[in-house]
Structure 1
Amino acid sequence: MIRSGRPRHRRPPYGGRRETVLLSPLLLTALITGLAFATPREIAFSRLLPAAPALAAALWTVLPTVLLGVFCLLVMIGLSMVYSDLGTPYTAAAIIAVTLAAAYASHLRLQREEILFQVRLVADAAQKVLLRPLPSRIQDVEIESLYLAAAEHARIGGDFYEAADTMYGVRLLIGDVRGKGLQAVGAASAVINCFRENAYDQPDLKAIIQRLETSIIRYSVTTRSVDQSEHFATALLAEIPYDGGQVRILNCGHPPPLLVQRGEIRVIEPTTPSPPLNLANLLGDHYNVDTVTFTSGDQLLLYTDGVSEARDRTGRFFPLADWMRRLGPASPRELLRRLHEDLVHYSGGRLEDDIAALAVRSGCSRAHHPPPQV
């Protein structure tokens, strides 16, 4: 289930077979023991008993691992009573040595798992700060969000989004810092925090984008990167005024949003290109705002290039516009749920870039009450 502003993550390891995996050391012990008693002594399956505590070290805590080693030792002693020439002293010594090593390995694994757990707590806290949950509705505008980080086990990356209920209307931001994964988090944080500070005060989208430009320039300088041009980002700002009927869009090198209007899919290309953030000195600081009709029931999909550039096994890009036409009418929540499922299926589960998307739908017209200016 997609929840507003909350990223979806990959399935946990093992899935429904977790219990079987955890019981595998016992199953291995039972198998070796059964074979040792049921086969001729010349085969000597008993020599495989040290493998059971070795496997337990990867799955169990220290005490169960040691107890399994003791059980394997008792099994070996029992076998020696039936077969006197199995080389019991050598196998018993191997079981003891492997059990001690397995117990120490289990202890180290638990320590690392605890450290990883603490790191994940920090990552979750950073996630909530950088990509905090968005409200499911602002005034009569429905909002749903989707986020997937490309880096394995990562919670955050270089894609970002935000929404603000301002005196000028509902303002939206979505963007993509060059690069992916944790290396792009710093620049994304600088941009999104700047938006949160200025979205409520600046009178128009051009003023906001100029502040975002200044913010990422300062970030590039303070990080002392060898190549400061690496820190650039595409961004798209949208503003839905309270009087309704339209949406203003400022697109700075970002993938064009898709507008669903009366069953038709329209790609909103900018009439005049605007430079990505931190490239205005090279391309010029000429920003263009397009105004598009946006009435009750219309839906807007904002996304990063991780969506449109997702590839299948043959290298073909995900056909986003055609996919939306085939999908048909859907609520913002259902739209992003299906998008997530189909992207993962299309790419074979191999996401090569961070993915962020916002689905925004205009509700029924009614009187709006702008929030008080703070």
Structure 2
Amino acid sequence: MVRALPTIMIAAATVTDTFTPGRERYDAFLYVVPGLAAVSWGVAATLVFGAAATLVILLLEAERGVAFMPGGLAVIVLMLVISAVAAWSSAVRLSRERELRHARQVADVVQRAVQHPLPERLGPLDLHLLYETPVAGAHMSGDFYKALKVPGAVRMMIGDVQGHGLGAVESATVLLGSFREYAYTEPDLPAIARRLETAMERHTARADVRDADRFATVLLAEIPLDRPVLRLLSCGHPPPVLQPRCGPARPVAFRRVSLPVHLDLGMTDEYVVEEVPFGMGDRILMYTDGVSETRDAAGDFYPVADRLACWQDTPDRKVLPALAEDLRRYSGHGPDDDTAAVLAVRTSPPE
């Protein structure tokens, strides 16, 4: 529609000026045509629209019997100046758009290098992800996730760094890097949690790092390939919802929730792993507080477990879109946090 404005303006001004009394002139509107063209057209097209508007003005002047000299010459000179300025504006706009596209491409490559896209299948597991940010096209924020197939198991992590902005993204990057390295080598989830804690301590201790003293809630999960169980370790993270193939959906009850990573309260923390049955066809949904802290108009929090229980039999590919739409309806605008990351995992037969 915007690209059609120059043509619409030429046509409207011409018709209006032609069919109104001579003392009422509307050809002055044609002087804005080059400016309208510069908004959405290139340099050459802007000059063409300027030339077309000039020609129409001259024809309307001739129809009124106005002599070409000096009136017509003045019109040409004025339209040349306006068209030149409009063409320059168009060139500046196009240059900035190219720079912006390049910056977005670079940012996209960097984001995907840090937060790799989640595979749809990992070992015997089907993985599905909902990741929403307020910035269109963003793949990375303070919320993070990762799933890796390691010897004998699949290990996953989902978490949320305190606060917003680049500091939160940097801390999330540190935690992702640490998980990628130690998920393969550490014997259990508590060992990985300790590695995450160490990574954040070193990150904060670096003298050149600003805005790094943040904590993060983290949920670690491990699904052995030879046993129908699911092991979970929560560092201050919201409890996931387990949806067994046979039986009602329920939040996982933790005997002990450890402190968030890098939240120093001057006490020694013990990591307790919960082990729950997780057989063929079962599903686990892990989410960040961008989901659970979404509020409705009355200020009530979104009832995650109750909502997910209603979708017990909903196919994997439909559950997360249904959740996203339900969050928008519940709050009127979507998740209240910057990002909502939900990971749905279901054991299934190999394809």
TM-score normalised by the chain length of structure 2: 0.89
Whichever residue aligns with residue 34 of structure 1, its letter is: V
Whichever residue aligns with residue 38 of structure 2, its letter is: A
Question: Is 1:75 aligned to 2:56, yes or no?
Answer: yes
SS in 2 for 1:310: coil
Which residue of structure 1 aligns with residue 142 of structure 2? Answer: 158
* Separation (CA, whole Å) in 2 of partners of 1:180 and 1:80: 61
* Separation (CA, whole Å) in 2 of partners of 1:225 and 1:117: 29
Offset at residue 89 of structure 1 (A): 6.2
Which residue of structure 2 aligns with residue 46 of structure 1? Answer: 27
Which residue of structure 1 aligns with residue 169 of structure 2? Answer: 185
Which residue of structure 1 aligns with residue 232 of structure 2? Answer: 249
Question: Is 1:362 aligned to 2:347, yes or no?
Answer: yes
Contact residue 236 and residue 257 of structure 2 kept, 8 A: yes
Quick check: which has more Rg, 1 or 2? 2
Given the superposition, is the C-alpha separation of residues 121 and 289 from structure 1 closer, same or farther in structure 2, using an over 3 Å criterion? same
Offset at residue 296 of structure 1 (A): 1.6
Given the superposition, is the C-alpha separation of residues 90 and 328 from structure 1 closer, same or farther in structure 2, using an over 3 Å criterion? farther
Offset at residue 356 of structure 1 (A): 1.2
Aligned residues: 345
Question: Which structure 2 residues correspond to residues 101-250 of structure 1 after superposition, within 5 A?
Answer: 101-152=85-136, 154-222=138-206, 224=208, 228-229=212-213, 231-250=214-233
Question: Is 1:277 aligned to 2:261, yes or no?
Answer: yes
* Separation (CA, whole Å) in 2 of partners of 1:133 and 1:252: 24
Contact residue 167 and residue 211 of structure 2 kept, 8 A: no
Which residue of structure 2 aligns with residue 4 of structure 1? Answer: none
Whichever residue aligns with residue 254 of structure 1, its letter is: H
SS in 2 for 1:359: strand
* Separation (CA, whole Å) in 2 of partners of 1:42 and 1:310: 62
* Separation (CA, whole Å) in 2 of partners of 1:328 and 1:40: 73
Question: Is 1:95 aligned to 2:95, yes or no?
Answer: no
Given the superposition, is the C-alpha separation of residues 291 and 69 from structure 1 closer, same or farther in structure 2, using an over 3 Å criterion? same
Offset at residue 146 of structure 1 (A): 2.1
The percentage of aligned residue pairs carrying the same residue is 39
* Cα displacement string for residues 155-210 of structure 1 (whole angstroms, at most 9, x for unaligned residues): 32111111111124111100111123544221111100110000011001000011
Higher RCO by CA contacts (8 Å cutoff, separation 6 or greater): 1
Question: Is 1:307 aligned to 2:291, yes or no?
Answer: yes
Whichever residue aligns with residue 344 of structure 2, its letter is: A
Offset at residue 90 of structure 1 (A): 6.1
User: RMSD over aligned Cα, in angstroms?
Assistant: 2.5
Whichever residue aligns with residue 61 of structure 2, its letter is: S
Contact residue 38 and residue 46 of structure 2 kept, 8 A: yes
* Separation (CA, whole Å) in 2 of partners of 1:134 and 1:155: 11
Contact residue 263 and residue 329 of structure 1 kept, 8 A: no
Whichever residue aligns with residue 44 of structure 2, its letter is: L
SS in 2 for 1:58: helix
Whichever residue aligns with residue 355 of structure 1, its letter is: A
* Separation (CA, whole Å) in 2 of partners of 1:105 and 1:290: 63
Query: Structure 1: where are the runs of 5+ without partners?
Result: 1-19, 367-374
* Separation (CA, whole Å) in 1 of partners of 2:145 and 2:118: 9
* Cα displacement string for residues 55-108 of structure 1 (whole angstroms, at most 9, x for unaligned residues): 221111111011101100111001101124697666655533332221111111
Which residue of structure 2 aligns with residue 298 of structure 1? Answer: 282
Whichever residue aligns with residue 274 of structure 2, its letter is: D
Structure 1 range deviating more: 256-265 or 305-314:
305-314
TM-score normalised by the chain length of structure 1: 0.84
* Cα displacement string for residues 284-308 of structure 1 (whole angstroms, at most 9, x for unaligned residues): 3222211112122111011111122
Offset at residue 139 of structure 1 (A): 2.2
Given the superposition, is the C-alpha separation of residues 248 and 141 from structure 1 closer, same or farther in structure 2, using an over 3 Å criterion? same
Which residue of structure 2 aligns with residue 34 of structure 1? Answer: 15
Contact residue 243 and residue 312 of structure 2 kept, 8 A: no
Offset at residue 226 of structure 1 (A): 6.3
* Separation (CA, whole Å) in 2 of partners of 1:300 and 1:103: 57
Structure 1 range deviating more: 208-217 or 218-227:
218-227
Whichever residue aligns with residue 39 of structure 1, its letter is: T
